[in-house]
Structures are given as structure tokens and as C-alpha cells.
Amino acid sequence: MKKKRVTLKDIASELGISISTVSRALKDHPDIDKGLTKKIKALAQRWNYIPNPLAMGLLRQQTRVIGVIVPDLVTYFFSSIISGIEDELQQAGYYIVISSSKESLEKEIECVHNLLNLRIDGLIVCLAQNSHQTDHFKKVLDHDVPLVFFDRVCLEKEVSTVVVDNVSMAKDITTHFYENGARRIAHITGPKHLNIVQERAEGYLKGLQEVGLPFEKKYLAHTDLSHQSTEKAIKKLLQLPQRPDAILGVNDTVIFATMKAIKAAGLKIPHDILLAGFSDEFHATVVEPNLTSVAHPTHEIGRNAAKLILEQIKEEKAIQKKIVLNTALYIRASSSRSKK
């Protein structure tokens, strides 16, 4: 039979005193007689009393719990960001509750609803890839709950965000391709409503302009980031009469699928096609050849998102700030042709 969790009420009832007296005694409040405090602590220890921070927080209208919603819990990218969030919040005495939207708008809406019911003190979010509406986040603001977005963001004029300079990095990759002999540079992109998709496409176009290459619509492949959509886009690019000699993916996952398709077509990387992606997932250094990719300062993204939440809680008002962090381009074998 499962043992019942001991509560303040149980201890108070046993000793014939009030719950508030027990609570204050356990915190060594000077108004409580030292003898009584000793007696209360002894019983709490004997009964293995464990404080319930959520219940205690509700009594003071603050749970000290921050909700975090991420698209998935599997990739290193998000797990590292969560680690940064947790490190910063723990130092301030806060707990986190993590939910995964699984890249679904419907699941994201459900996560927001459930976390609000927990009476969280703040919410940190990275949008699901098909999250194209903001009503559920406006509901968070209507409840006066501090809200911060990172990486994939929305409501930028109302809410604080933590992002990276996607435009500059996509431009740098495009010019890097050109310097390695590429002249037909393609970009496999994602859903148009996502900020990171818009920014990386903008950087790609700026890169083409900088090296004097014309933009050709046939080399811009749109996907919804699903496996099926990505495969279709890659096949279409490889079947062009003048197929691309370099491909920039909106993320590493897209490029991993591209690698597979290129090898299946009997082509070689980087000899026939140069490749590069975004997010520098663990597999980037495992695939052959190693993948050129943009590494995000994931731990710092998490810490900065947490700092923005804590700032809003302290100020007791919504704050609109945009933090832009630097990234690093790791050039590996997939995008570098040996020069003879």
C-alpha cells in the first residue's frame, strides 16, 4: 500500500497546533518558542516530512515554477538550452517544468494550457515548426505571465526574445561555397512563417548578391521540414538539368537527408556537391564526410532566456528586449574542395 505524503496539516493535527505555527517553526521563525520548534522538527524528521514547494508557493501567490516548451526533447540543441535555463533558474531558487510540443501546433496549445493551470511564474518557449498563430501566447500575456521566446520566435514587438544572427551566418556560408568553386548554390528552406527560415533565406540571397551570382528560383526549395517534403525537394534539385553544386540546408536534419539522397544518386560530397547546415547537431561530426554547420551558443541561449524571465518577475511587468548572440561556423569536409 502506497504511503500517504506527510503534510503540514498532519504535523499540526498531531501536535494540536496551527499549520502556520508548524510552517514558521520549520523556518526557525523567532516568534515560535525554541522548545516547540525543536519538537516540531523532531516529528517532521521522524515522519519524513518533505516540503511541497508548489503548495507553499500557491500560499504566497508564487509557485517559483517556470514552464519551458520546446519542439523536442531528443536533440542536443534543445537539451543544452534546457540545461542553460535550469542552471540560471536554480541559482535564483526556481524550478522548471518541461513540455514538448513535438513540432505540433495543437500540442503546443495543450502545453500552454496545462502549464497555465499549474500557475507557473513564467514561460520560456521555442515555437513548433507549424506554429503559425499566436492566440495561445496572447492568452499567456492576458494572464500577466512573463513570456520569453528563443530561436523560433513571434510577437517580437511585445515579448522578449533570444536569437542568433541567422542572416550573417547564411550569407557567410553562401560566400564560403563560392570561394570553394560553387556557382549553382541552392537553399533548402522551411515554413515561410518561421523567423529563422526567413532570416536564413535572406542571408542566402545576400550571399549570392555579394559574390555576384544571380538568384535563380529553381535553386530555392521550400519544404514543411517533414521527411517526405524534404525528400521531394532534394530529388527535384538533383533532377535539374543543371543540378546544384552546393546546397545550404535550413537545418542539419535537412542536410542529413540530402547527404543520403546524393549518395544514392551516385554523386560524391564534396566533389560533386558542397553541403552545409545549421545547428551543428552531434551527428555533424559522425556522418561522412563531416558536415559544415553553424553552431549556436545553446547554453548561453538558455541562460539569457532565464535571465529575461527573472527580470520580468522582479520588475513585475512585461519587458520587451531582443538579445542577439553570436554563432560559430565550423567548416568541415562537406564544403571544402581540395585545391590543386
Residues 120, 54: Cα–Cα separation, whole Å: 10
Specify the higher pLDDT residue, 62 or 254.
254
Question: Domain check: are 191 and 280 in the same one?
Answer: yes
57 pLDDT above the threshold of 60: no
| Residue 264 belongs to some domain of the structure | yes
pLDDT of residue 1: 36
pLDDT digits (tens, 9 = 90+) for 12-30: 899 999 888 988 888 888 8
Question: Domain check: are 101 and 138 in the same one?
Answer: yes
| Residue 2 belongs to some domain of the structure | no
Radius of gyration, CA atoms only, the chain: 26
- Tell me how many domains the chain contains: 3
- For the record, the C-alpha cell of 175 comes out as 560566400
pLDDT digits (tens, 9 = 90+) for 218-257: 999 999 988 899 999 999 999 999 999 999 999 999 999 9
Is the link from the previous residue into 270 a cis peptide, with omega within 30 of 0? yes
Is the link from the previous residue into 289 a cis peptide, with omega within 30 of 0? yes
| Residue 206 belongs to some domain of the structure | yes
Q: What mean pLDDT, rounded, does the chain reach?
A: 92
pLDDT digits (tens, 9 = 90+) for 134-159: 999 999 999 899 999 999 999 999 99
Half-sphere exposure for 28 (CA within 13 Å, toward CB): 0
Question: Domain check: are 181 and 291 in the same one?
Answer: yes
| Residue 57 belongs to some domain of the structure | no
Question: Domain check: are 156 and 274 in the same one?
Answer: no
* CA distances for 230 relative to 104, 200, 218, 237, 251, angstroms: 18, 17, 15, 11, 11
pLDDT of residue 256: 95
How many CB atoms sit inside 10 A of residue 39's CB? 14
Question: Domain check: are 107 and 189 in the same one?
Answer: no
- 100: CATH: 3.40.50.2300
Question: Domain check: are 101 and 198 in the same one?
Answer: no
The residue type at 326? N
- pTM score of the predicted model: 0.82
Identify each DSSP E strand in 101-184 by its residue range.
Answer: 122-125, 147-150, 160-164
| Residue 273 belongs to some domain of the structure | yes
Range(s) of the domain holding residue 204:
166-296+329-335
Question: Domain check: are 170 and 235 in the same one?
Answer: yes
Sign of CA dihedral 283, 289, 294, 300: positive
pLDDT of residue 55: 57
* CA distances for 64 relative to 83, 308, 310, angstroms: 17, 15, 10
| Residue 58 belongs to some domain of the structure | no
Question: Domain check: are 260 and 308 in the same one?
Answer: no
340 pLDDT above the threshold of 50: no
Question: What is the β-pairing status of strands 185-188 and 220-221?
Answer: parallel
2 pLDDT above the threshold of 50: no
Question: Domain check: are 74 and 126 in the same one?
Answer: yes
| Residue 340 belongs to some domain of the structure | no
pLDDT band at 31 (very low <50, low <70, confident <90, very high): confident
| Residue 90 belongs to some domain of the structure | yes
Question: Domain check: are 35 and 81 in the same one?
Answer: no
SS3 state of residue 138: helix
Question: Domain check: are 178 and 276 in the same one?
Answer: yes
**DSSP string for 38-101:** HHHHHHHHHTT----HHHHHHHTT---EEEEEES-SSSHHHHHHHHHHHHHHHHTT-EEEEEE-
Question: Domain check: are 302 and 159 in the same one?
Answer: yes
